[in-house]
Amino acid sequence: MVSLKAVRASNASLRTLSNITALFVGGTSGIGQSTLRHLARYADSPTAYIVGRSQARASPFLAELRSLNPKGRFQFIEADVSLVRNVDFACRQILDQVEHLNFLFMTPGGISLGGRNETREGIDYLFSLRYYARMRFLQNLLPLLTTAASSGPSRVVSVYGGGFEFAINRDDLDLKHTFSLLNAYKHSITMTTESMEHLAHYHPSISFIHAYPGLVGTNIYNNSFPWPIASFYNVAMWPFHSVSLQESGERHLFHLSSAQYPAKQQPAGAIQGVSVQPEVKDVATGTTGEPGSGVYLLNWKGEVRSSPQILKEYREQGVPELVWKHTEDLLDEAARR
């Protein structure tokens, strides 16, 4: 376990990184909000874009961020990212305004107790939030991430279920014909890691983290269910929370910025992140079993999760390439609808 003391020491050193630009998708509540709050507290003068569904709901938080860091630049982009066209809209605004992107942090999602619920683009709503929308942000912003890697850190963190990868149905990746909540859970997790492995191969100067956050006291139930059902889950799940929302934000900022999780290939002179703390000693082991291999599965403590055997088998069978090709084709088709 990376101690909270080491996490806080690392985060406090964020001021040594200059000209940091970040994008938070799902940054107005829960883990994303807490992580962004700590970025504003620790970084010198960051530029942060926050994508969320409501400008009005985000306004008090934006005011808080500007109070925490008057030198920082915090810009909200209103978009329902369950739709690919809205992801493209948000990305165009960022591409038009910045030349590099150091940190891409993604947490959109929710909970459902029902069946497949397609958006008008033909993708299941929660499957889109947990996987497809996140990959569209990544696909669109690869040029900015690559530019950032020439001199500073370039990292992608997707918060969901890293380390819980399962076998998936390669003949029905988007679950048009075999949808269930369990299958959607499995596919979202495994396809995220498979896509990250593919992208790390072709973009080795970018570091990728698929994190499992543990049970955190967020407002996910309030955002997913009507009041009576949400209240029941809030009470029922409270004893099982493994980490507070504040600590989760501190730890995810560490995941986002520590040099413990470097890219596979480090350009000469480029800074991989905040220097590794003395108690940590070594860089993390990636999904291939090699230290510093560029793709990392982490638990809420910052520990590397054991890479499931299925990932090795899929790597040998070319599944990362299959998954990414499917993802690109489906996203492009959805954007044309």
The 10s digit of each residue's pLDDT in 65-106 is 999 999 999 999 999 999 999 999 999 999 999 999 999 999
Q: What is the pTM of this model?
A: 0.91
In the sheet with 295-298, reading across from the earlier edge strand, the strands are 73-78, 47-52, 21-25, 103-106, 155-159, 207-211, 295-298
CATH number 3.30.2350.10 given to 4-214+244-336: no
- Rounded-to-integer distance, Cα 109 and Cα 182, Å: 15
What's the pLDDT tens digit per position in 135-182?
999 999 999 999 999 999 999 999 999 999 999 999 999 999 999 999
What is the structure's pLDDT at 231? Answer: 40
Are the C-beta atoms of 171 and 38 separated by less than 8 Å?
no
Average pLDDT over residues 212-238: 48
Domain ranges across the chain: 4-214+244-336
**One-letter-per-residue 3-state SS of 224-292:** HCCHHHHHHHHHHHHHHCCECHHHHHHHHHHHHHECCCCCCCCCCCCCCCECCCCCCCCCCECCCCCEC
- Rounded-to-integer distance, Cα 234 and Cα 221, Å: 7
Element containing residue 311 per DSSP (H, E): helix 309-317
What is the structure's pLDDT at 234? Answer: 36
